[in-house]
Amino acid sequence: MTFRWPSGLSPDRADLHAHNELATRAAPEAIWRWLIAAPRWHELYSNCRGLKIEGGADTLALGTRFTWWTFGARVSTTVDAFEANRYLAWTGGGLGARGHHAWLIEPTATGGCRFVTEETQRGVVVKALAPVLRRGLMHFHQRWLEGLAEAALAGAP
């Protein structure tokens, strides 16, 4: 499986692209349970604040809309790809920028998985601050992957 990008937000068209990945002993289903438990991301990802799912749901689903604060910006997003235990993506915007964030989970022969996250962004502010923003994304997304793996190994959300 490969990443699917909305029009104008593929890595070759974006002002910013970040790629992070991690292999873990955690099963794909365990990673997935934590990944869709968006209101609990702040426990795993220090760059997430005030996440609210429209309608008050506890987990993400296809078409879910949610708002949150990340990198100091309020972002409004909509889940536009949802394949249980395998692929999750959302598109959103804030501060005049538009972005797409996708997650790919691949099982390994040992029962664990390799999971990858990629994000692209476009916008005037993004273009001006791309080198700094990319370093921040790379750093915080890697911490998010590590947090997900640790939580998944410890149990269900």
Quick one: how many helices (H) and strands (E) in the chain? 2, 7
In a domain, 6, yes or no: no
DSSP 9: -
In a domain, 127, yes or no: yes
User: Considering only CA atoms, which of 107, 89, 93 is closest in space to residue 35?
Assistant: 89
CATH code for the domain in which residue 35 is found = 3.30.530.20
Q: Where in the sequence is the domain holding 40, given as residue range(s)?
A: 16-154
pLDDT at 21 over 90: yes
Total domains, the chain: 1
Residue 39 phi/psi, 5-degree rounding, is -65, -10
In a domain, 137, yes or no: yes
56-91: pLDDT as tens digits: 999 999 999 999 999 889 999 999 999 999 999 999
pLDDT at 1 over 80: no
Which token pair is 155? 């149990």
In a domain, 9, yes or no: no
In a domain, 131, yes or no: yes
In a domain, 4, yes or no: no
In a domain, 61, yes or no: yes
Q: What pLDDT band is residue 8 in, cutting at 50, 70 and 90?
A: very high
In a domain, 3, yes or no: no
State the angle between helix axes of 124-154 and 28-36 in degrees (0 to 180), rounded to the nearest 10. Answer: 130
The pTM of the full predicted model, rounded to 2 decimals, is: 0.96
